[in-house]
Chains A and B, each alone.
Chain A
């Protein structure tokens, strides 16, 4: 491959991606201005993006590297609170002093700072938790990460400066559609690049057989720590984006339930399948919202409200889905051009 062709192709891909993202972002703001996209649907759209970030980043740890972690909400919480603390206590007052707050430039600066800081702090948390606990395997690692998630939540609960149990409010609302989906595309590109390269096979090798992985020269500890830090970083990014989208954080947002929901997305999508994680993140987000509109059902003289029934229906759906597709929606396969090409050939013949 010549240098010129390489850079031409690379430039084309990046330009195409940028154009698609900018176009989608412009379309969303136009639809909102025209009143065709209401605030609720927009919120669901944004939650989809945040959940894609969470599911795909957990998939790096659980699905691709095979390390069973159920503390992902903890990393999300670290990123959310750390970035919110930065913007609320440091950056917003600093911008205010100079009278720069409110401008698009200032908001973008806040968003970028929040994303970077949230990602870095969660990544450091991932490193701190990862190095000791990755000596553990399977169930033991799961319990250690579960404990970590709870430690994070209880710690935040006891930090009065960020509101403790009352929650943390007044976070600047600077998350944009563009900012969120740029991070989604970045994470997807990164995951995909690792999966299709020989170097990236090290992650899958660790998942399939650790002893054999060591025997072919894979430093399994290093690979596990990299996966853990990378996954935690993007969970932190998701947390930062969530904090600056909602404007309010509560320690309860990062309970074990949240970790389990992210885990469910990974398992439902098919462990190790990036596109599967995306699909199930979107599906579960949409379904969880849709179930809010259930009718009130009266059974044996007692009325069951949608909020009571929501989780019941959700569980039943998950059980049915797992019975129907025990290996997840996509199994370990990926959806991509090759699949479309196969369908096209089938259609032609």
Chain B
């Protein structure tokens, strides 16, 4: 099958610091891949390159048949890449329902002009969006919180809301930046179940950054390890677990 995402030789520098060097990546449709590495390895920088927050100094990014190198973030989002953030970025003063609708806005056919005059086609589409937003909230177990402001939600629910907002965009590729951060074991177990289910239900390709090895080893089909901006290993969770370079990157060199 054609890969949905191809990253060729991407490099990102901030001043003298090379955050990502010569990064390659290919994702097959509906793959569930983990991106791991010690702190500061450049994982989030990879996400920011994929979503257009940064423009790579070198290299190309191809998504779904388009060369998206240097595209603006909103254009990349419109093409079908959705993401969540390491330090949750919700629309804090909007309600939970409005946050999901803000994601669903992306594929609406009626624009601002219709909204300003409340045309009939806009009102009909608004009903569809409303129904879909409620369906997503139910799926994520957030329907009781629908009218709370997003910033008033507990942490775990904020994480789920961020995923709901991303799903409302109908993405082809979903990037999750540390989805399990700050969750207790039960929440983490539920999250793993959820991620697996979403992938199957929505035919999503998922790339996730995670420090919780139980999550990575439990659900990822393939794992890529970054250290100092370079890929040091790639393979199945079993291969990664026993790879000496990975162990060295995380724990330091074994004493002689």
A317 within 8 Å of B by Cβ? no
Known: A1-B120, A6-B120, A197-B126. A215 touches B114 (CB 8 A): no
| B141 contacts A by Cβ under 8 Å | no
**B93: which A residues are within 8 A, CB to CB?**
204, 207-208, 272, 332
Q: When chains A and B are docked, how far (Å) is the Cα of A219 from the Cα of B78?
A: 10
Which residue of A is nearest B53, CB measured?
A211
Chain B CB within 10 Å — which of A198, A205, A212, A218 has the most?
Answer: A198
Query: Chain A, interface size: which category?
Result: 20 to 34
Measured between beta carbons, the chain A residues less than 8 angstroms from B89 are 209, 211-212, 215
Select the stretch in B34-42, B57-65, B97-105 that faces chain A. B97-105
Assess whether A104 is interfacial by the CB under 8 Å rule: no
Q: Of A197, A200, A204, A217, which contacts B91 at CB under 8 A? A: A204
Residues of chain A within 8 A (CB-CB) of B82 are 215-216
Q: Please state if B77 and A199 are interface contacts (CB–CB under 8 Å).
A: no
One digit per residue, 1 when the CB lies within 8 angstroms of any chain B CB and 0 when it does not, for chain A 178-222 equals: 000000000000100110011111101101110111111111100
Q: Say yes or no: is B138 at the interface (Cβ < 8 Å to chain A).
A: no
Per the bound structure, the CA–CA distance linking A219 and B75 in Å amounts to 8
**Bound state CA distance, A130 and B64, in angstroms?**
35
Name B123's contact: one of A1, A204, A213, A220 (CB within 8 Å). Answer: A1
CA A316 to CA B115, docked complex, whole Å: 41
B206 vs chain A, min Cβ distance (A): 16
Give A214's nearest chain B residue, CB to CB.
B73
Q: Let me know if A48 is at the binding interface, CB within 8 A.
A: no
For A272, list chain B residues within 8 Å (CB): 93
With contact pairs A217-B78, A220-B74 given, residues A208 and B91 touching in the complex (Cβ less than 8 Å): yes
What does the 1/0 interface line of B175-189 toward A look like (CB < 8 Å)? Answer: 000000000000000
Residue from A193, A194, A198, A220 within 8 A of B102 (CB atoms): A198
A217 touching B115 by the CB < 8 A rule?
no
A-B contact pairs, 14 of them (CB 8 A): A197-B115, A198-B102, A199-B114, A200-B112, A201-B91, A204-B98, A208-B90, A211-B89, A215-B83, A216-B103, A217-B74, A217-B169, A220-B74, A272-B93
Question: Closest 3 interchain pairs by CB?
Answer: A217-B77, A197-B115, A214-B73
Q: List residues of B whose CB falls within 8 A of some A CB.
A: 51-53, 72-75, 77-78, 82-83, 85, 89-94, 98, 101-106, 108, 110-112, 114-118, 120, 122-124, 126, 129, 165-166, 169
- Beyond A214-B74, A216-B102, A220-B74, 10 additional contacts (C-beta under 8 Å) are A1-B123, A6-B120, A194-B112, A198-B115, A201-B94, A202-B102, A204-B102, A212-B91, A217-B169, A218-B105
